[in-house]
Amino acid sequence: MDAVEPDGYTFEMGPIRPPSEGQDRSLLIRTTRNCPWNRCEFCPTYKGKKFAYRRVEEIKRDIDAVKGIVEMVRATSWSLGYGGRLGRDMAGLVVQGAPGVYARGLAPSEDLALRLQCLVAVVDWISSGGRTVFLQDADSLIMRTAELVEVIRYLKETFPTVERVTSYARARTASRKSLEELTELYEAGLSRLHIGLESGSDEVLEDVQKGVTAEQHVSAGRKVVRSGISLSEYVMPGLGGRKLSAKHALETAAVLNEINPDFIRLRSLIVRGDSPLHGKLLAGTFEELTEDGVVDEIGLLVENLNCTSYIISDQMSNLLMEVEGRLPDEKEAILRTINTWKAMPVLDRLAHRLERRARSYLAVRGAMDEGLAEKVDRARRSIESSSADAPSVVESAIGALKQGFM
């Protein structure tokens, strides 16, 4: 959502949040815009967009706007005879019951669309209990500590129901914060940081221009853990390509063992057509792993993890969403899941991969266009007939489906 003039019923939201925050229906509050680094070759999200700080006063106005929407929804609920109930169906009822707020006097259609987007987001949040908030965009931790503390405290004062406040952060930023600063943020109410580790291999990190070293990852992660803030480290299987697959897995495991984060979240590489890494793929300087190769790499990673983290595959780019469990107790069960997959006949694996990827696409997009639907149907028919070209036909269909993933 682009910056807009505040009108009491709109607030800014950035483009992304972690899957876990979506599952928990967290409120999105934008503290900074876009990414201060924005050079990672695998990530197209903020390319062409300029990083910007937001003033504390702006952020507070957004928090006030959310409060205004909550109060308006509650008042409308009472006026319509629902006794203040704030269920997910209240968005439609508000539009019907308070047209002066959301329709009358609005000329540009985008103004109404913006207000409706904010309304639906807030109703979804309060109907889930209003307990979790995610601070956007890519690196809220880059704010001055005192200002971020002020924002978090104001947020929690405004909404006493808030139990968890989370944010993305870059490891390089976290490594530059003192333990005292991180502890102050924790005491103010910052509950969890999501950090894109991606790899523990300096060679892989340099190849994809991550802008951080393995040593900085360890320094940042260990400080975050010591501060009391819950830490989610994101790992990107496949990021080293064929050439560096084993090194990527082994050195990432070594870094994670040193950090011992609360969560290790797998987010397998998808080479987006609009990412700089796609240019390397076309030029032949980066060779992508097959999906079975990514499964092998995850197995190697898990085999070498010696920590007490909870590992989870909660991102749709992952093929085996079943890879989940507490280490070390459930390590063997996770490895059995991987080995069971690897033992499946080739055509069975192709069929499962195609159906899983199609379901994920539909979960996000709702429907396929005619061309993509035909590509997927052709892939299904090639599997059913045990066609010699089934692997290549299926790979083509899966590649097209994955471009539509979030």
Exposure class string for 212-247: b at 16+ Cβ within 10 A, else e: bbbebbbbbbbbbbebebbbbbbbbbbbbbeebbeb
Q: Domain ends where: 319, 342, 365?
A: 342
Specify the number of domains making up the chain: 2
For 323, the token pair is 């890879």
Residue 269 lies in a domain: yes
Does residue 54 share a domain with residue 106? yes
Residue 277 lies in a domain: yes
Does residue 152 share a domain with residue 220? yes
Does residue 263 share a domain with residue 193? yes
Measure the CA angle with vertex 117, ends 111 and 123; round to 5°: 135
Residue 3 lies in a domain: no
Does residue 352 share a domain with residue 203? no
**Which domain, by its residues, includes 397?**
346-402
Does residue 135 share a domain with residue 186? yes
Does residue 265 share a domain with residue 368? no
How many angstroms separate the CA atoms of 242 and 219, rounded?
A: 29
Predicted local distance difference test score (pLDDT) of residue 65: 94
Q: Which residues contact 303 (CB under 8 A, 6 or more apart)?
A: 335
Residue 163 lies in a domain: yes
Q: Domain ends where: 342, 366, 389?
A: 342
Exposure class string for 150-186: b at 16+ Cβ within 10 A, else e: bbbeebbeebeebebbbbbbbbbbbbebeeebbbbbb
For 107, the token pair is 């000329």
How many angstroms separate the CA atoms of 383 and 349, rounded?
A: 10
The CATH code of the domain that includes 325 is 3.80.30.20
Q: Domain ends where: 309, 327, 342?
A: 342
Does residue 367 share a domain with residue 225? no
Predicted local distance difference test score (pLDDT) of residue 7: 54
For 228, the token pair is 């009391």
Residue 13 lies in a domain: no
Does residue 351 share a domain with residue 326? no
Predicted local distance difference test score (pLDDT) of residue 1: 42
Residue 154 lies in a domain: yes
How many angstroms separate the CA atoms of 302 and 317, rounded?
A: 18
Does residue 276 share a domain with residue 151? yes
**Can you give the pTM of this predicted structure?**
0.91
Residue 2 lies in a domain: no
Does residue 130 share a domain with residue 194? yes
Does residue 351 share a domain with residue 337? no
Measure the CA angle with vertex 158, ends 119 and 139; round to 5°: 75
Predicted local distance difference test score (pLDDT) of residue 299: 98
Does residue 162 share a domain with residue 46? yes
DSSP lists the bridge partners of residue 235 as: 198, 266
DSSP lists the bridge partners of residue 232 as: 194, 263
Q: How far is CA 201 from CA 87, 215, 248, 251, 297, in A?
A: 47, 10, 6, 5, 14
Q: Which residues contact 290 (CB under 8 A, 6 or more apart)?
A: none
What is residue 259's three-state secondary structure? helix
Residue 219 lies in a domain: yes
Question: pLDDT of the chain along its 406 residues, tens only?
Answer: 443 334 567 899 999 999 999 888 999 999 999 999 999 999 999 999 999 999 999 999 999 999 998 988 888 778 777 787 777 776 666 666 554 555 444 444 457 778 888 988 998 899 889 999 999 999 999 999 999 999 999 999 999 999 999 999 999 999 999 999 999 999 999 999 999 999 999 999 999 999 999 999 999 999 999 999 999 999 999 999 999 999 999 999 999 999 999 999 999 999 999 899 999 999 999 999 999 999 999 999 999 999 999 999 999 999 999 999 999 999 999 999 999 999 999 999 999 999 999 999 998 899 999 999 999 999 999 999 999 999 999 999 999 999 988 7
